[in-house]
Chain A
């Protein structure tokens, strides 16, 4: 269990800045997800924490101790890789044993032929065996201990990789997209298992993913990275409901948040698609963008109308794709009741509550709102 503190971490590869000053504190026992699109520098940041990659500037502290220049193994962190990175020539048992043998046996005891003859080796091997058996029980891989990684399924390899990380009782676990090589069903299953593992071990988990669903379902906090910067850190609910930046709003949530073009009037009121919202803000007049989550769009009533161009019925819920005439715009609305789906091509009226609205300035920053009346938007805009 450990607290990890990053201060102004910068990293560049061949002159291009990959990390642009990351300041970030991971609390003890936290499950934190680093999410962001491909190439935003998540893996690089994780590797810097692990010590596999040196940063150009900035410091990493683990439990208040600076670890810069300290070897990866001496930082006492464990990492689970996307490709699992199991040693292909070793059995499951030996794979999990490697970190223990490296730590508990001396260099001479590790020698191939001579080592096993040394007096202390037996007792140490017995300890290692006991630890591995305990881990294997926990992870349900006891029957697989004799197999080589090539003879395991993806999910089993994943578990062995987690076992290899767990067995050394590290200060913190680092995961780099550990589930992305699994099929969808197994991924959901492993998601629950990892979350449960975290609750049981109470260790610090740093979890890199580009799958926002994984981040939303498992983590205590999410850190959203874009283009080498952390743009928001918060609980999943905060990130979802109160995104500070339009890129966060667009990245988190599936299907994606609907973005409508809007205007801030001189008096601070906001117009969307020709209707005024019962909202006001302190921003200067001009263009803005208005975000509304699909589940916050109410179909059937409201000042706007669109026609149904596509329907996705998932059984428990349905997504209605609407095209808005004249605006060249597509919206997605979530319908909880799939028994009353609108017909394809039919016109549908829709609206949304004013507290469902997130307004962003042209640069993408969130504009704080003052609710004039938390009521449905109905009246047409005064021109």
Chain B
């Protein structure tokens, strides 16, 4: 009797703890939705309430879309993240294949350099890369947003670890069948590595969709702005920060990721656990 009692008590305690953690994580999002639904007067009122007295979400959204070309910014986000991911895969897969399956002089050294590359934060190289783009005359363009990220050392590392687990016999069988080395990368290794590519895609897309730092540095023109810059735009307004439309815009830009997550939830979790194991 007392046994089941203590079990339920512990279960309750455990759930309370988890709920507290979840609430802490969700609080900013809830606050975002709440603020996006309030008119300006309520946002600045001194009393704290979550549910708006006057529901102003549609007004705020309308204002957000009116003040900034949000659709254009979302499109920019898609163009940039997809280009980055595609180019990253095109570079990382052949590189990972070479590091995992080919025998050549200096392979271990190269792999050590890849590992070393993972340790370098992007901010550390930001200024040299910026100067380089300036010299080449590519600043303030899609290329400036995409090119610096095409070589992902993390991607090379992740794919190399995965390719290591693909049996050598499979590669040899492909060679016997007449598939070229590049053909092996795309026709044999890529299909075998779909879970790893998915996991990498999740990391890449999330990181570059949400990136604020790099676009802020290299962009000037308004029409090239990525979603996070678009949100910041509302803060920089001379008329003072309009929090309602800002939060509404923030909701809009995180929506694609949230929707994508809901659709691909299983894949998403598989991918993340995969990178945890490997």
A83 is an interface residue with CB less than 8 A from chain B: yes
B232 within 8 A of partner (CB) = no
Q: Are B192 and A72 in contact (CB-based, < 8 A)?
A: no
- Residue of B173, B192, B194 ringed by the most chain A CB atoms within 10 A: B173
- Cβ < 8 Å to A, chain B residues 155-170: 167, 169-170
Residue of B nearest to A82 (CB): B169
Give the tally of cross-chain contacts (CB within 8 A): 57
Do A85 and B169 have beta carbons less than 8 Å apart?
A: yes
Instruction: Contact check, A73 vs B176: say whether CB atoms are below 8 A apart.
Output: yes
Least CB distance, B89 to chain A, in whole angstroms: 16
Are B178 and A99 neighbours in the complex by a CB distance under 8 Å?
yes
A82-B170 Cα distance, complex, nearest whole Å: 11
The interface centre, meaning the residue of A74, A82, A83, A98 with most chain B CB atoms within 10 A of its CB, is: A98
Main secondary structure of the interface of B (DSSP, over half): helix
CB of B172 within 8 A of CB of A102, answer no
Q: A88-B192, A89-B191 are in contact. Are A73 and B169 (CB under 8 A)?
A: no
Q: Within the complex, what minimum Cβ distance (angstroms) separates A237 from chain B?
A: 33
- Nearest Cβ in chain B — how far from A15, in angstroms? 15
Q: Is the CB of A102 within 8 A of B178?
A: yes
B219 touches A (CB below 8 Å): no
- Find chain A residues with CB under 8 A from B178 CB: 73-74, 99, 102-103
- Chain A residues, CB < 8 A from B191: 87-90
Q: Is A264 an interface residue (CB 8 A)?
A: no
Of the candidates B167, B179, B194, which one forms a contact with A85 in the assembled complex, judged by CB atoms under 8 Å apart? Answer: B167
Decide if B235 is an interface residue (CB 8 Å cutoff): no
- Chain A residue total in the interface (Cβ 8 A): 25
| Cβ–Cβ contact A79 & B176, under 8 A | yes
| Per-position binary interface string of chain A over residues 45-83, scored 1 when its CB falls under 8 Å from any chain B CB and 0 otherwise | 001001010000000000000000001111001110111
Q: Which residues of A contact B173 (CB under 8 A)?
A: 79, 81, 85-87, 164
- A79 to B172, Cβ gap below 8 A? yes
- Quick one: CB contact mask for A87-105 with B, threshold 8 Å, 1 for yes? 1111000000011001100
Contact B175 A87 (CB under 8 A): no
Is the beta-carbon distance between B175 and A85 smaller than 8 angstroms? no
Within the complex, what minimum Cβ distance (angstroms) separates B172 from chain A? Answer: 5
Are A99 and B169 in touch, CB under 8 angstroms?
A: no
Chain B's closest residue to A99 (CB) is: B177
Given contacts A87-B188, A89-B194, 20 further A-B contacts (CB under 8 A): A52-B175, A72-B175, A73-B175, A73-B179, A81-B172, A82-B169, A83-B167, A83-B169, A85-B170, A87-B173, A88-B192, A89-B192, A90-B191, A98-B174, A98-B179, A99-B176, A99-B177, A99-B178, A102-B177, A164-B177
The chain A residues found within 8 Å of chain B, CB to CB, are 47, 50, 52, 71-74, 77-79, 81-90, 98-99, 102-103, 164
A-B contact pairs, 28 of them (CB 8 A): A50-B176, A52-B172, A52-B175, A72-B172, A72-B175, A73-B177, A73-B179, A74-B178, A79-B172, A79-B173, A83-B167, A84-B169, A85-B167, A86-B173, A87-B188, A87-B191, A88-B191, A88-B192, A89-B192, A98-B179, A99-B176, A99-B177, A99-B178, A102-B177, A102-B178, A103-B178, A164-B173, A164-B177
